[in-house]
Structure 1
Amino acid sequence: MPHLPQLRIPATYMRGGTSKGVFFKLDDLPAAARGPGAARDALLMRVIGSPDPYGKHTDGMGGATSSTSKCVIISRSSVPGHDVDYLYGQVAIDSAFVDWSGNCGNLSSAVGPFAIAQGLVDASRVPADGTCTVRIWQANIGKTIVAHVPMANGEVQETGDFELDGVAFPAAEIQLEFLDPSDDDAGDGAARGMFPTGAVVDTLEVPGVGRFEATMINAGIPTIFIDAAALGYSGTELQDAINEDKAALARFEAIRAHGAVRMGLIDDIAQAATRQHTPKVAFVAPPREHVTSSGKTIGTGDVDLLVRALSMGKLHHAMMGTASVAIATAASVPGTVVNRAAGGGARNAVVFGHPSGTLRVGAEAVERDGRWTVTRAIMSRSARVLMDGQVRVPAGTV
């Protein structure tokens, strides 16, 4: 077998929120991988180490979880009024697949810092100290994100005292604004509206699972919300309670597939296998005292509701940023499953409990002519460069 040298591709390994991913500048990728298609997917899968039948990502940069099997491609923006275009790829772990159907809200917090450090933001707009505002075009779903990035001594400030449940160490706070996040086309060009079925609550019947109420929403990311009690859960579950239960995971996947059809995201439940990133499935419950994965006790008065969400077929260890937008949006609309779990009534912010702790997210939802929309959602995250240099893949990859 002939020897194949390794390609060396400039890359940065970053944490953003409760996720990690490999960040690239578009122009640094091999020419064949700069556009959509098999070459780009093959490159990103090899970088992450997928597909891995052992589920470990030993031969790649991935972390063998949905939160750590991610790649981001950044370029100067082609959209007026924006600094950079941000393209996100969710890499499957044990299959040869990259899902481009949605955004990663957690890694959105790392896009601004990466863009500034790589010189992709006009230098005249980058202060030596204070806050740099980076306007990001989220290319997967065609939405605007505004990142407010702290600066110190001419560089992105990464260290600080902002604590984020699900992240072990404090860092500098980055505020994100998701503008008009109701995902009217869900990334595929088909107009649907924030509630694609036209109702804030629907009855979903899934063979082998049952019949129950669900709120299906396109905001931040397409998400299916279900009352925890309807599925026999309390809303206080940690990862092992779900992820070690193969029958439960199969039920959630069936719910996701049938909900995706009802939302108009796919035409047939069999297509769900090729759209793993979206929609998400989450179950909600009113507050109750419980202990998080870190051993911290959350009291009934500490949160408005409890939420557990699945990503790429497993219960998430904390909460996806885009799902947080969906939670805040649904909580602000009277009558949704989420709003009811939070006690009902009007609200423009919500504090919810997740397996690692709590998170506060704000959303401004309005109803016009019987149609709900959300103008923006706001949350705080943090980000940090873990390593930069060159990632290597065998030359035959691309």
Structure 2
Amino acid sequence: MFSRTIRRSNPISQSLRHASSRSRASQNSLPAAYYRGGTSRAVFFNRADLPHDQREWAPIFRGVIGSPDPYGRQLDGLGGGISSLSKVCVVGTATHPAADVDYTFAALGVKNDEVDFSSNCGNMVSAVGPYAADAGLFDVNHEAESAVVRIHNTNTGKIIHATFPLAEGEAAARGELAIDGVAGTAAPIKLDFVDPAGSRTGKMLPTGAVKDVFDGVKATCVDVANPCVFVRAEDLGVEGTLTPDEITSAPGLLDRLDSIRRQAGVAMGLAKSPEEVPGSVPKIGMVSSSRNASDGRGVDLVVRALSVGQPHKAVPITVALALATAARLPGSTVAEVTNSVPVDPAGITIGHASGNILVGATFGADGGLEFATVFRTARRLFEGKIFWK
């Protein structure tokens, strides 16, 4: 007599298998790369791999980065829970006659679903040239030791030249340049911002004044590389050397700064009402004198910058460019706290929460910034296929 074991199907197991199958089927993927640029990180896409209609990009970017995340950690994506790590860059064929590639930047909210195309990211610009070379969007001479990629930032319409060393036909990773806020050293990347004034408003001084008043606080609004508004820390009753955590925990400070920022955005013509002002522009910074700051030795002024409502651990490059311009405008809130004799004749040295940065600048007779140079580093972290639900 033979016995036979009958295996009955487990409805729970079947359900899990079907759910798993549906889950795998619902996964989306695209070729992508992940780069550190300066003190930021971003996911990079080739423009040709994305939908032709830019209005379809937002859900892709949110899925890839992991936004919105009510926990603020973006664990289900490649974001890092702070504004400087919640970014996407798109690079493609140039549409500008003076450029080799187009570069579009997107800033994503961490806890909200905002996908903001209204500003540029100067730190991530440092990775655009290397990505273009590595991805084959820029023809590299394999015999050459360096490359110059002319970048058209579509967010602002401005041109940036990126010069960087090559190794075996790709962007070099190893080098001796250290930048404050990033551990170790890497290959230097020279960024030349050509005529950066009027990036969004068409004017260096969008309000027509060197100084305005918002909420009873004096402020200087400047549009260089990105629209920015600068207030003196002492006018807010705080120290100019607060750490990012101290800024966040100071009662009412973030709300007060955002109120000033939104009013400045309206005055600069970026929106019709404070509620409509984008999260990423204008950026706002609190400035103070290096003479009264323990961390201000060897710098011309000190800044604590905010972006998308969060204090930055290092000054964004576009904010540094705007500061370098405002420092040369007599009567501005920035000029009032800037050393009269620069510590480095090559430009303006700015102290920030992680160290300092030198902005090499060429100014015209009207005090406008004609040409600005900064050095950064960048590195490819991975490339392949990225998945999102």
2:110 alignment counterpart = 93
5+ residue gaps, structure 2: 1-18
Q: Give the superposed CA RMSD.
A: 1.8
Contact 1:86 1:139 survives alignment (8 Å): yes
Cα shift at 1:135: 0.2
Alpha-carbon distance change, 46 to 348 in structure 1, aligned in 2, over 3 angstroms: same
- Tell me which residue corresponds to 1:215: 220
* Preserved contact between residue 82 and residue 135 of structure 1 (Cα < 8 Å): yes
SS in structure 2 of the partner of residue 53 of structure 1: coil
Tell me which residue corresponds to 1:279.
Answer: 282
Whole-angstrom distance in 2 between the partners of 1:373 and 1:140: 21
Instruction: Please give the per-residue CA displacement for 1:206-237, whole angstroms capped at 9, x wherever unaligned.
Output: 2xxxx122110000110001111101122111
- Distance of 1:245 and 1:21 partners within structure 2: 30
Contact 2:67 2:108 in 1 (8 A): yes
Which residue pairs with 2:177 in the alignment? Answer: 162
For residues 12 and 290 of structure 1, what CA distance do their matches in structure 2 show? 40
Out of 258, 267, 271, the residue aligned to residue 262 of structure 1 is 267
- Give 1:109-148 correspondences, 5 Å limit: 109-123=126-140, 126=141, 128-148=143-163
Count residues in correspondence.
366
Structure 1 contact 11–23 (Cα < 8 Å) conserved: yes
Q: Secondary structure at the match of 2:84?
A: coil
Q: What is the Cα deviation at residue 388 of structure 1? A: 1.2
Letter in 2 for 1:28: D
For residues 322-381 of structure 1, give each alpha carbon's deviation from its aligned partner in whole angstroms, at most 9, with x where no partner exists. 11111111123333221221134797710011000011002222245xxx5321111000
Q: Could you tell me which residue of structure 2 aligns to residue 153 of structure 1?
A: 168
Asked if the contact 1:76/1:120 (under 8 Å) is kept, the reply is yes
Q: Secondary structure at the match of 1:136?
A: strand
Aligned partners of 1:128 and 1:155 also within 8 Å: no
Residues 19 and 77 of structure 1, relative CA distance in 2, 3 Å threshold: same
Find the partner of 1:229 among 219, 234, 238: 234
How big is the shift at 1:192?
4.4
Q: Which amino acid aligns with 1:283?
A: M
TM-superposed deviation, 1:290? 5.5
Quick one: which of 11, 20, 27 aligns to 2:41? 20
| Aligned with 1:55 (options 72, 75, 97) | 72
- Render the CA deviation track for 1:140-179: whole Å, top value 9, x for unaligned: 1100000001113332111111110011121111010110
Does residue 205 (structure 1) correspond to residue 217 (structure 2)? The answer is: no
1:127 positional shift: 5.2
Aligned 8 A contact 2:289 2:338 in 1: yes
**1:91-132: CA deviation from partner (whole Å, max 9, x where unpaired):** 111111101001000000000000011111134xx3534220
Single out whichever of 281-290 and 192-201 deviates more from structure 2. Answer: 281-290
Q: Return closer, same or farther for 1:299/1:279 CA change in 2, 3 Å cut-off.
A: closer
Question: Of the candidates 370, 373, 376, which is equivalent to residue 378 of structure 1?
Answer: 373
Rounded to whole Å, the distance in 2 between the matches of 1:289 and 1:18 is: 26
Q: Could you tell me how far apart the structure 2 residues matched to 1:280 and 1:378 are? A: 20
Could you say which residue in structure 2 is the equivalent of 1:180?
195
Deviation at 1:249, TM superposition (A): 1.0
Equivalent position of 1:43 in the other structure: 60
CA distance in 2, matches of 1:233, 1:367: 35
Indicate if the aligned counterparts of 2:130 and 2:170 stay in contact, CA closer than 8 A: no
The two structures have a TM-score, normalised by structure 1, of: 0.88
Q: Counterpart of 2:203? A: 193
Question: Could you tell me which residue of structure 2 aligns to residue 357 of structure 1?
Answer: 355
CA deviations 1:15-56 (Å, max 9, x no partner) are 000000000101122x3xx3321x211110110000111111
Contact persistence 2:152–2:160 (CA under 8 A): yes
- Pair 1:182–1:78, CA change in 2 (3 A): same
The letter for the 1-side match of 2:92 is S
Q: In the alignment, what sits opposite 2:119?
A: 102
Check the 8 A contact 1:332/1:348 in 2, yes or no: no
Q: What is the one-letter code of the residue matched to 2:323? A: I
Which letter maps to 1:384?
A: R
Which has more radius of gyration? 2
Shift in CA distance, 198/348, structure 1 to aligned 2, threshold 3 Å: farther
The one-letter amino acid of 2:361's match is: A
CA distance in 2 between partners of 1:23 and 1:87 (Å): 10
1:59 Cα deviation from its structure 2 partner: 0.4
AA paired with 1:35? D
Amino acid at match of 2:376: R
Please name the residue that 1:82 is paired with. 99
Q: Which residue of 1 aligns with 2:6?
A: none
Distance 1:286 1:303, change over 3 A: same
Q: Percent identity?
A: 38
Match for residue 303 of structure 2?
307
Q: What's the counterpart of residue 330 of structure 1?
A: 326
Gaps of 5+ in 1: 292-297
